[in-house]
Amino acid sequence: MSELAMAAYILIWPTVSALVLVVILGAIIKDVRSAKREHRGLV
């Protein structure tokens, strides 16, 4: 495997992990706002 391919392979995983984290946080924020709007608990 070439050095460029290896570097790209190693650097892609933090990017994918960050995107997953952003999606999860966005869903949590949406749920919190919805719960506040409906005056109910989140859990």
Give domain limits for the chain. 1-43
- Report in angstroms the alpha-carbon separations of 41 from 16, 34, 38: 31, 10, 9
Contact 27, 33 (CB under 8 A): no
The pLDDT, as a whole number, for residue 42 is 83
Q: What is the pLDDT of residue 1?
A: 73
Predicted confidence at residue 22, as pLDDT, reads: 98
pLDDT of 12 reads: 95
Q: What is the pLDDT of residues 2-42, one digit of tens each?
A: 999 999 989 999 999 999 999 999 999 999 999 999 999 88
| pLDDT at residue 26 in the model | 98
Structure tokens at 41: 């608990």
Task: Identify the pLDDT of residue 20.
Answer: 98
